[in-house]
Amino acid sequence: MKFRSSTKRSSSLALAFALASGAVFTGVPLESPAQAQKQEKAAKADYSKGFIAAYTPVNENVSGEAPDYAAAAAAAPGLVAAVETADDRHAAGSILYSIGAKSENDQLMVQGLDLMLASGKVAPEQVGQFHWSSYQLNNRLGNTDAARAGLEGAIAANYTLDAQLTDGSTRRLGADDMHRMIADLYFEAEDYPAGFAYLDEQMAAREAAGQPIPEAWVKHAFVTAYNNDLPEQARDYSLRYVEAYPNKTTWGDAIAVALNGTRYEYPEILDILRLSRRTDTFRDGSMYTEYIEAADPRKFPGEVLAVIDEGYASGMLDRSDPYVNESRAEAERRIQADKNDLPALLADARAANANLVTVMAAGDTFLSYDRAAEAEEFYTKALAMPGVNTPLVLTRLGIAQLDQGKRAEAEATFEKVQGVREPIADLWAVYSTQQNAGG
């Protein structure tokens, strides 16, 4: 029969992640010093004479029937220079923000917000809104650090708002969303290490406080790493994601990352797909055909036959595919003779003079026939033999232990795996832990 050459990893991520966009800012109601004095006579705002002298012509420029915003903007530096008191600062910020809004000058609007916040005169219930507006404007201007500070101020003020998402829906945004948006400011600047470090810091703080980590944080870190070809980070966050939020989708994504992120050979691919089989996360027929290639009906006919029949039952494997049909026929031709040879293989591998090739063949064969106890026996024996591929044997020893329900022993074995197989063993360890917890 003809066998296919190694194929490119074809399993795909099932990812759908809508990032919240900022709500359209409609403006903060602001007052001029004159309005404030009329409405709050009892409060008696403290405006300096020099500031009133500088403020009056600016106010006249914008309050007539033909406002001259250009002249008002040109007078802004002199107005700011005249500020002496907190009330001066707030009033200067108010009118600069108003001029900027009416003349579409984002920089003036930002300056106005900064002055008002610095004055300490912003009503407590408006502080969060002012910081949020500062984030939006600075982000639009490309002032990343100032935009980040705006979000941090909004978080500190416990600000929330209804915002329209990219899919057209509306939902309430709060601190969790804003933390993610801070990370996005780093990611948009392609400073991925800083963005991941920020999210890691926030996750660690939640864990230290005994609080759950928001799913959106882990998912966003994972998707960002995967979409930007950062395999190490993608593996890390896929592992965290499946640990914290295990389901078929997250397991399927984690396995897809393991398959796609590293140029593994067939022995590694086989052990990844064995986990996919146990988590029921095959997504298409290509994963079944890849399993057939990795297992090889000439080596593990029983396992190949079982996988093909499972693929047929799932509806994902094409019954008319010549390669699949040939592989199934080859497995059927070999399986009885293979089973008949098991007693002799068992005896040869148990012999005191058995070599590593025989012992490993026994371990692999019995594992493929779901005879985990014998597989564990021979993998354990192989570990003490010269020339052994320790990471491979430890991985499969852990699988054999897990298949017997020895979950604690399996997890300890997976922890010992190093090198290129470590990410594979980490996934198996998480699966074992979840099985131990009844997952």
Find residue 20's DSSP bridge partners: 165
**φ, ψ (nearest 5 deg) of residue 171:** -150, 170
29 pLDDT higher than 60: no
120 pLDDT higher than 50: yes
Those residues whose C-beta lies under 8 Å from the C-beta of residue 38, and which sit 6 or more positions away, are: none
Q: What is the DSSP letter of 310?
A: H
Alpha carbon distance 309, 66 (integer Å): 81
Neighbours of 233 (CB within 10 A): 20
At 261 the pLDDT is 79
What burial class does residue 386 get, using C-beta atoms within 10 Å of its C-beta: 0-12 exposed, 13-18 middle, 19+ buried? exposed
| Average pLDDT value over all residues in the chain | 90
41 pLDDT higher than 90: no
408 pLDDT higher than 60: yes
**φ, ψ (nearest 5 deg) of residue 41:** -60, -35
**Long-range contacts of range 215-221, CB-CB < 8 Å, 24 or more positions apart?**
215/244, 215/245, 216/176, 216/177, 216/180, 217/176, 217/179, 217/180, 217/183, 218/244, 218/245, 219/17, 220/17, 220/19, 220/180, 220/183, 220/184, 221/183, 221/196
At 17 the pLDDT is 24
CB 116 within 8 A of CB 97: yes
Average pLDDT over residues 404-423: 96
What is the pTM (predicted TM-score) of this model?
0.81
Q: How do strand 161-164 and strand 170-173 relate by DSSP bridges?
A: antiparallel
Exposure letters 41-68 (e unless 16+ CB within 10 A, then b): eeeebebeeebeebbeebbebbeeeeee
Alpha carbon distance 333, 299 (integer Å): 12
Cα 365-366-369 angle, rounded to 5 deg: 95
Question: What would the pLDDT profile of 177-205 be if each residue is shown by its tens digit?
Answer: 999 999 999 999 999 999 999 999 999 99
At 4 the pLDDT is 41
Question: What would the pLDDT profile of 314-351 be if each residue is shown by its tens digit?
Answer: 999 999 999 999 999 999 999 999 999 999 999 999 99
**H helices, E strands: number in the chain:** 23, 2
